[in-house]
Amino acid sequence: AQRVTQPEKLLSVFKGAPVELKCNYSYSGSPELFWYVQYSRQRLQLLLRHISRESIKGFTADLNKGETSFHLKKPFAQEEDSAMYYCALSARRGGATNKLIFGTGTLLAVQP
Amino acid sequence: EPEVTQTPSHQVTQMGQEVILRCVPISNHLYFYWYRQILGQKVEFLVSFYNNEISEKSEIFDDQFSVERPDGSNFTLKIRSTKLEDSAMYFCASRHRDGGPQPQHFGDGTRLSIL
């Protein structure tokens, strides 16, 4: 079964503290994984995709196929990072569909 | 930067009525999607659309739902005989092309409230 699990509904940290938002997936094929962020009253925005291996706004995420994880990390949280974060798996069907399967999301609250 | 636009931002409808949610995908995108998010729950896939036909639909997307691309720019979701449980945020998304993990770009969503 295709599934994305984000075990934490809420993660509260202080400004400057490290952040790790957990994401585990279940997928029989070769996964394509994304992190989307939703700031208050705004649209879902792409933050990272695993194939890019880039750092956006200080965030990084490494695909660990052995642990089937794609955790999102940032060494020093900022107040403006407060948002809802969704991990998503792109599921191919005949190579054309690429629907996204979302986790339940983690609300990151960065305290001053 | 081009964006996916959705209208209306909020739709209030009586149970049993039909609603049409509208989306204008990014102009050079070829793949279109609808998702919904019931309050407090995860974002769920409804349907994908490519080359003027549905390419995949979820079990949620039953005969009550339909999609259409009537004029080459708009992409609509029609919900017939609305039920209370159809109340949710509905997100439209579009993607450029296949040939790799192209990301989907989302609109702001339409909040549908069924009374």
Residue ranges making up the domain that contains B76: 5-114
- Please give the Cα distance from B108 to B90 (Å, whole number): 9
Q: How many CB atoms lie within 10 A of CB A32?
A: 21
Structure tokens at B1: 């930067």
Q: Is the pLDDT of residue A78 over 80?
A: yes
pLDDT in tens, B38-87: 988 889 999 999 888 999 999 999 999 999 998 878 999 999 999 999 99
State the first-to-last Cα distance of chain A, in angstroms, to the nearest integer. Answer: 40
Q: Do B45 and A45 touch (CB under 8 A)?
A: no
Q: pLDDT class for B91, splitting at 50, 70, 90?
A: very high
- List of residues 6+ apart from A33 with CB closer than 8 A: A23, A25, A49, A50, A61, A63, A70, A87, A88, A89, A90
Cite the DSSP H helix spans in A1-112.
none
Residues of B in contact with A98 (CB under 8 A): 31, 48, 95, 98, 101-102, 104
Q: Do A93 and B55 touch (CB under 8 A)?
A: yes
Cα A96 vs. chain centroid, distance in angstroms? Answer: 23
pLDDT in tens, A28-74: 877 889 999 999 878 899 999 887 777 889 999 989 989 999 999 99
Total structural domains within chain B: 1
Percent of chain B with pLDDT over 70: 97
Nearest to A101 among B45, B98, B107 (CB): B45
Total structural domains within chain A: 1
pLDDT computed for residue B1 by the predictor? 77
Q: Do A43 and B108 touch (CB under 8 A)?
A: yes
Output the domain CATH number for residue B47.
2.60.40.10
Nearest to A44 among B95, B98, B106 (CB): B106
CA neighbor of A13 nearest in space, from A103, A71, A79 = A79
Beta strands in chain A (DSSP E): 3-5, 10-14, 19-21, 24-26, 32-38, 45-49, 60-61, 72-74, 83-91, 99-102, 106-111
**Helix, strand, coil percent content, chain A, rounded in steps of 5:** 5, 50, 50
Q: Is the pLDDT of residue B102 over 80?
A: no
Residue ranges making up the domain that contains A90: 3-111
Q: Which residue of B has its CA nearest to A40?
A: B108
Q: Which residue of A has its CA nearest to B58?
A: A99
Q: Do B98 and A100 touch (CB under 8 A)?
A: no
Output the domain CATH number for residue A74.
2.60.40.10
* Phi/psi of residue B84, nearest 5 degrees: -55, -40
Q: Do B48 and A46 touch (CB under 8 A)?
A: no
HSE at residue B49, side-chain half, CA atoms within 13 A, is: 25
- Please give the Cα distance from A11 to A97 (Å, whole number): 33
